[in-house]
Chains A and B, each alone.
Chain A
């Protein structure tokens, strides 16, 4: 017992990554679901796995959890090879699949204590860990109810509590907010926010604001391949290339557009009624020069701000570009 825990800790410290995926490939018969994926997740990181339906998100997650074997490639979790040491890997993972794996005929509390024991939690700590999971997922009020009588939102939370109950280092959440109403979505998001820092979290979704709200790093996957992998800011920067600005004036004067075009650094101006979208080369001087021109023109400067592409636009741009990285 002591020996194995020693070995575990030495193996754990040897790897800086929580998840290492090398050349992961999965075939379903003739269908190439995941194509040669490589990526790493650091300890404590919150990573969003983003892609349209059928992009290979769930497949990749199932392989990480050891539920499914890869066709080719190597996956290591906490330093353990998923294929060679699946039981050890599963001890480190809390997994919430797309459909929460619930037993309808059990009480919430009994179910969580069963899940905890199944994950290897023993003795008196079962009760305290169940209490903690109930508290984290906000399920104290329904702990003595049958799962089959719960609403969809509560069932999802029970599923989440199930993933949390053994206090795993790695949480894998497959579309945790799908099918919930906006209030429940907000609650789940809030919960994930609170879990940050306690666990390494990988969550998949096709709902973009979710990733925007919770994740530090985003992996965009399309047709079984990683299309982009970065923080939200860097992704925005990369898709933009040059910086975009939005300018709004009260009364645009005659020839205002050509005035703007003549400012050093402005590459293109698009008129959107009383406001203008400016594409610049990203130089630091440019915005202030634009502001001077707007004020000098006497049109009355109302607004000048940097336009960030939201994730939705980035996503569309990247997934329509195909496999370009």
Chain B
């Protein structure tokens, strides 16, 4: 049992360090910071100007920093990570298979479950670094204004669950091929298909169908989290997706033994 956690951690730590030693991750992080920084500042200045105008008209109580600025920040962070995570996760298994370093993992006393968990942890760790960067903006805003930390916290919780889901999808895609680019593309298509389901909610007819789509829609769960509502079904939904893709990856690795 101790070995299960230690072995997993050793592998995850190596992969995470490999991200932090490579130039690719810093390129992604730099793009991420630049876009988020620009978007946040322009949104914040818009808000300040508008609330000034509103105050002159005597209606300042309608303005809400969280729903205007923070939720927009969330949407930006999410959008960029949606594109960035496939680039982060594409290496995790595809590159190992291409360079044959995967042989080392397969002949070490690690189970395929440990390998999958480690890979998801490493990808999530790298995405977490980016998410932490985005926390800089609310932090500095809190120095000049009142930030509502509670809904911000639940928004981040929702965001992290969504990130972990994308990472699990990315690791699964990476397990299917030796080509990182193909893995990236597949991860992107699979993540996008989650949102197609969400958009289908507007098209389907009938109460039951709409209910089903509503439950499996990432958009719906994410909007609940960003409103400050933590629903068990939202958490369970994301955890089951992560489990599903983790399980599929584990199967893919196991199957390689039998071919």
Contacts and interface: CB of A to CB of B under 8 A. Distances in A.
A106 B106 contact: no
Interface string B96-117: 0001111111111111000000
A150 to B, nearest CB: 14
A87 B111 contact: yes
Contact of A67 (B18, B22, B111, B257): B257
Contact of A120 (B22, B101, B104, B109): B109
B3 interface: yes
A118 B18 contact: no
Interface in A73-95: 87-88, 90-91, 93, 95
Contacts of A87: 109-111
B7 interface: yes
Given A28-B259, A101-B101, A101-B102, A95 B107 contact: yes
A137 interface: no
A190 B105 CA distance: 28
Most B C-beta atoms less than 10 A away, residue of A69, A88, A118: A118
A118 B257 contact: no
A118 B259 contact: no
A68 interface: yes
Contact of A114 (B14, B22, B107, B258): B14
A105 B18 contact: yes
A164 to B, nearest CB: 13
Nearest to B101: A101
Contacts of A106: 14, 18
Most A C-beta atoms less than 10 A away, residue of B10, B11, B103: B103
B258 A118 contact: no
B99 A104 contact: yes
Interface residues of A, number: 28
Interface in B1-30: 3, 7, 10-11, 14, 18, 21-22
Nearest to B99: A104
A104 B104 CA distance: 13
B99 A118 contact: no
B103 A119 contact: no
Nearest to B18: A105
Contacts of A119: 108-109
A219 B238 CA distance: 54
B189 to A, nearest CB: 28
A103 B103 contact: no
B122 to A, nearest CB: 13
A69 B109 contact: no
Nearest to A117: B10
Contacts of B108: 90, 115, 118-119
A7 to B, nearest CB: 16
A138 interface: no
A301 to B, nearest CB: 57
B102 A118 contact: no
27 contacts: A65-B107, A67-B103, A67-B106, A68-B257, A68-B258, A69-B257, A87-B109, A90-B107, A93-B107, A95-B107, A97-B107, A99-B100, A99-B103, A101-B99, A103-B101, A104-B99, A114-B14, A115-B108, A118-B7, A118-B11, A118-B104, A118-B108, A118-B109, A118-B110, A120-B3, A120-B7, A120-B109
Interface of A: 28, 65-69, 87-88, 90-91, 93, 95, 97, 99-106, 114-115, 117-120, 162
Interface of B: 3, 7, 10-11, 14, 18, 21-22, 99-111, 257-259
Given A28-B259, A88-B109, A90-B107, 5 more contacts: A65-B107, A69-B257, A93-B107, A103-B99, A120-B7
**Top 7 nearest A-B pairs by Cβ distance?**
A101-B104, A101-B103, A99-B100, A90-B109, A118-B108, A87-B109, A95-B107
